[in-house]
Structure 1
Amino acid sequence: MSDETQSLYQLIGHERLQQTVNLFYTSVLKDPLLQPLFGDGHPTHVEHLTAFLAEVFGGPPRYTDELGGFATILKAHRGLNITDEQRARFIELFDLAMVRTGLGNDDTIRMTLNEYLSFGTEVAQINSFATTDAELHPCQEVPRWP
C-alpha cells in the first residue's frame, strides 16, 4: 500500500496516537483553563479519546462499535459551556503533545490533525451550550476525516 492510499491512522500508527493522547491528557489535567472541564480525570479517557481519533482518521470503528459512539461524546460535552479560550487551549495543548511525540515534525500530519481539532472542538463547543436537540451541531456521528 502506498502512502497515497494509507489513512492518516495508518501513517501515524496506534501506539504514537495513543502516546500523543496520553501526553495531551496529562497536560489537560494540570491546566487551570481546561482542568475544570475534565475534573480529576477518568481512567478510560485516554483509551476512549484514542479510539475516537483512530476512527476519525481511518482506523477501526471501535469507538462506535464498542464505546458508545457519538451519543457518548455528545453526552460528555453537553452542559460544559466550553469557551473560545478553552477551545483554543485544547488545540494548543494537543499541538504541543504532537510536537513531543514527533507527529508535529510532519507538516501534512500536523496540519490535518489541527484542521480536524478545529472542527471537532467547534462541534464540542456548540454541543456544550445546546439545551435542546435542535441546537446541536449538525454533525451527529463520528466523522471520517480525510
Structure 2
Amino acid sequence: MAKEIKSTAEEKVIPTLYEWVGGMQVFEKLTAVFYEKVLQDELLAPVFRHMSSQHQLHVAHFIAEVFGGPKTYSHEEGSHYEMIRKHMGRHLTEQHRKRWVALLLEIVDEICLPDDPEFRSAFVGYIEWGTRLAVMNSNSDDIKEGEHVPMPKWGWGETEGPYIQD
C-alpha cells in the first residue's frame, strides 16, 4: 500500500499522511470497522450508542483532513470549534480514552494500514494528542479556543519518513 511518491527522477515529493494511507476510502473503512467494534465494547458502547449514523463518516473526514486530505469536514460538516463543542459535557475518562486508542490501533492492524515505524509514530502521535484534548474538552464547561480556530494539521513530525531513500 505504501510507496515512494516522486514528481521527477531528481526531486522527491513528500507525501501527506493521507496519501501514504491510500486516500479517503481507507479512512472511511477504518472508522466503519472501528465504530462497529466500539458499539460492541462494554466500556465504550454507552458513550457512542446514541451517536448519529453519520458519526463514523464525520470522524473519517475529520482525521483525513487533519492528515492532509480534502477539506470535506471543514467545508461540509463542521469546524474544529464545532468538534470541540461536540465533546463538551460528555465527561470522558482516561479509561474511555485508553480503550478508544487501544481499539483503534487494533483496527489499524486489522485492516492493514501502513506499518512502517514513521507512519505509525505520526498516527499514534495524533491519536494520543487528539484523544487527550477530547477528554479535557469533555470535562470542561467552556471552550478556550475561538470560533475560528483552524483545523489541526498533522504530518510526519520529527522523523524522516520511509519516503527518503539514499
TM over 0.5: same fold?
yes
Displacement of 1:123: 0.9
Shift of 1:101: 0.9
The reply to whether residue 79 of structure 1 matches residue 89 of structure 2 is yes
**Counterpart in 2 of 1:28?**
38
Q: 2:71 aligns with which of 61, 68, 71?
A: 61
Q: What is the match of residue 152 of structure 2?
A: 143
Tell me the distance in 2 between the aligned counterparts of 1:55 and 1:77: 19
Across the aligned residues of Structure 1 and Structure 2, the Cα RMSD in angstroms comes to 1.7
Q: After superposition, what is the alpha-carbon deviation per residue over 1:29-88, rounded to whole angstroms, capped at 9, x for unaligned?
A: 111111122124421112111100110000011111110111331222100111111101
TM-score by length of 2: 0.78
What percentage of aligned pairs have identical amino acids?
Answer: 30
SS in 1 for 2:125: helix
Q: Which has the higher mean CA deviation after the structures are superposed, 98-107 or 22-31?
A: 98-107
Structure showing the higher helix proportion among its residues: 1
Larger radius of gyration: 2
5+ residue gaps, structure 2: 7-11, 156-166
Are 1:123 and 2:133 an aligned pair?
yes
Gaps of 5+ in 1: none
TM-score, normalising length: structure 1: 0.88
Q: How many residues align?
A: 142
**Does the alignment pair 1:5 with 2:14?**
yes
